[in-house]
Structure 1
Amino acid sequence: MERSVLIVEDEPLIADDLLYHLEDIGISTIEVALKYEEALEKIQNTQFDLALLDVNLSGNRDGIDLANFIKRQQSLPFIFITSYYDQDTLNRAKETDPLAYILKPFDKREVTVGVEMAFHKIALLKQAPSRFYVRDKDGLLPVTPDEILYVEAFDNYAKVFTETNSHIISHTLKSIEDKLTPFGFDRVHKSYLINTSKISRINDGYVFFNETPIPIGRAYKNIFMSKIALL
């Protein structure tokens, strides 16, 4: 299957390195932009399946600014490439909901895993509905994945928690997990499925949603923490 990728990276040697890695894993069409303005022009005039965005572009606008433009104007999925984050940059990056992060210095394996997982998520999202419906005393109510903070299991049913409400679902946590995984949800405990984009902080074996702590199970800890981009 043909796949096209845009690389936005202001260091030519790193851009070339990424291009060679993508060619090695079979990406058929690859274009490179070294500046924000060049990337903007390519995005507006060419159809890409995925973009790799360097966070720290030189100039007045960076990769996060470009990601915000993409979120407003395009339907182009993207991965961030970066060597470090200060807290303000990290907060800005999280708000754009990237598919993944590739940390510099990277190797071929990291690029391969990041890109292939991104394409896997893209395929799942294309098949998945944009909203789900839950039963309530007033009938069927729409809930989008982005509204959900976490899901807690209770035997053969589950409770879905949003920022303003909660809903009882007559399904197992596993069946709900299968539906929500493409939207960035992860299992952190045998009884909890969480929306990783909504985490407030992680501390002492818990993930927090505002001030609500959710335990990280021992069996899930290593896998979950391996997905967290640390500075």
Structure 2
Amino acid sequence: MSKGSILIVEDEPLIADDLAATLESQGYHISAVLDEGIDVFKHLENHSPNLALLDVKIAGEMDGIQIAEKLEIPFIYLTSFYDQKTLDRAKKTSPSGYIVKPFSEGDLIANVEMAFARTIKPDIQQRKPEKLFLRNGQEIVSMMSSDIVYVEAFDNYANVYTEKGKFIISHTLKSIEKTLIPLGFHRIHRSYLINFDHIDSISENYVFLKGLKVQIGKSYRKDLMDRLTMI
């Protein structure tokens, strides 16, 4: 099982390759290796890494700090710059770490592990099911998170499927994801978030949960398979 998924934003190919190889050797999944801000946000439309490693000075319209200001996931800075102006800008974004180049493998792993310990709930550290409240018309309905089989994006709304029926709520899938991922849910498609505990079987292109069939997006399949404990 993967320790977690990490996005690398680094425009020096040798450093980027070394980062990816080191992290993969330690059991982390690399969501992508990118070198421009515009590509970062395109990637995040369809993927949900747990952590980002951001080079402060990269090509393109945004530097690493400007990217961090728009991120909704924890991040660690990688940089050759530690002047006071850069440090002051970086501190305002509340990073999970600040690694100065050149750095050792030990520095990298220590910062990543500390970031996961402080701010990230990896798959093996999921919280217990929680009681959630959904607005259903004029009524507010309570249910345990474990009762939800999967959630489907529907424009600016979401369909919440349970064994007892479907609820439509006025939240986007992305906003719901922040609540459900730590409770054992997993994104398998740009439009679907599933309860991992309800998986009955997996075929080439679909996951079957409690008699329901949900499509797996091609770009999400590796993340899903990495999470499985195979025997």
- TM-score between the two structures when normalised by the length of structure 1: 0.50
Structure with more relative contact order (C-alpha pairs < 8 Å, separation 6 or more): 2
